[in-house]
Amino acid sequence: MGLLVRELSLADFRSFERLTVAPSEGVTVLVGPNAAGKTNTVEALQLVTAGRSFRRPRPRDLVREGASSARAAARLEGDGRVVDVRCDVVDGRRQFSRNGKRCQAADLPESLMSVLFTPDDLDLVKRGASHRRDELDDFGRQANRGYANVLSAYTRAIEQRNRLLKDPMVDPSLLDAWDASVSLGGATLLEARLRLWGRLAEKVSAVYAEVSGGEELACSYGCTLGDEALGLDRDDLRELFAAALAERREEDLRRQQTCVGPHRDDVTFLIGGRDARSFGSQGQQRSVALALKMAEVELAAEILGSTPLLLLDDVMSELDDTRRDAVVRFVGRGIQTVITTTNLGYFSPDLLDDAEVVSFGER
């Protein structure tokens, strides 16, 4: 089973002066009107598990109005272990700790990883490529600390190269040096991403067939280095990337940005051989997004040896009955899940009987 969240406590966090929630081992439903603090609670759970927030807030945004600091803390228990994780916001900075010792945000998923599903994720298929890349990379950085380090190093290298490309008097030798750094970092990232995508795509297709009633989904990776990049090892990818950077240097100088590399890649979902982004119905697109999140939970359990925390923020209201039933069946497999909603009518009596229901906004 691995670690479970036994208690979440907040102090001067977002809208809360104080809050304590004790999630169940199975499903916990946070119910209440809009703006009652349900999403703030989910955000706090993501902060102390993923080390980041889907809202991308500034640290001061996490502090309750009128307060000088904020705290989100969780106690994790399981397999004979007790782990206390915490995020403090002090002097405009976030500080993370585990069992009382300072740590990096990227260290937190090593204790308990989380997978978040919000209404915005339902549009993942039809949104721009950057959203799908971010989804894959956000999963990768939680599932493997090495992935997080590689992604961070490549991102910094691309930023530096792009900054140099904007210089009106670019030094070619300096650009050569950054080309070497970018091609090595990009090859390392691409090799890791393709390996991760290969495992995830297989599960997405299987889950989609279950959710959709048997429709066939194919998942592919669109690489700006060309299909020949797929299957190459890191050294061959580095050579291929370096050649592409050299070939497109004039274009990059003209556009003042790096136009090829993993930061420009995309993933594609095909239903019946047709691109779901362009030809899929809204229901099909949402089923793909749902299948992707479910697949992430399954793959995380394989990689880490323990099931991640699943956070569902107000998505039930956006799903039809068939997809809501699929979610209910999935979380019933022993996954610790926190769901927010304004309406308990979206849930079956059986689920509510077994769930911990926490009401928000009551006076």
CATH 1.20.1050.90, the chain: domain bounds: 128-305
Helices (H), the chain: 38-50, 129-143, 145-165, 172-212, 234-247, 249-255, 276-279, 282-304, 321-331, 349-354
| DSSP secondary structure code for residue 355 in this structure | S
Assign 95 to helix, strand or coil: strand
> Do the bridges between strand 93-98 and strand 274-275 make them parallel or antiparallel, or are there none, so unpaired?
unpaired
CATH 3.40.50.300, the chain: domain bounds: 1-112+306-363
| DSSP secondary structure code for residue 212 in this structure | H
| DSSP secondary structure code for residue 93 in this structure | E
The residue type found at 25 is E
The angle subtended at Cα 203 by Cα 202 and Cα 206, nearest 5°, is 95
Q: Which two tokens stand for residue 282?
A: 């809204």
- CATH class for the region spanning 1-112+306-363: alpha beta
Fold for the domain defined by 128-305: Glutathione S-transferase Yfyf (Class Pi); Chain A, domain 2 (1.20.1050)
Single out the residue of 138, 155, 109, 160 nearest to residue 292, CA to CA. 138
What is d(CA 166, CA 81) in angstroms, rounded to the nearest whole number?
52
pLDDT in tens, the chain (363 residues): 689 999 999 999 999 999 999 999 999 999 999 999 999 999 999 999 999 999 999 999 999 999 999 999 999 999 999 999 999 999 999 999 999 999 999 999 999 999 999 999 999 999 999 999 999 999 999 999 999 999 999 999 999 999 999 999 999 999 999 999 999 999 999 999 999 999 999 999 999 999 888 899 999 999 999 999 998 999 999 999 999 999 999 999 999 999 999 999 999 999 999 999 999 999 999 999 999 999 999 999 999 999 999 999 999 888 888 888 899 889 888 899 999 999 999 988 988 999 999 999 864
What is d(CA 195, CA 107) in angstroms, rounded to the nearest whole number?
22
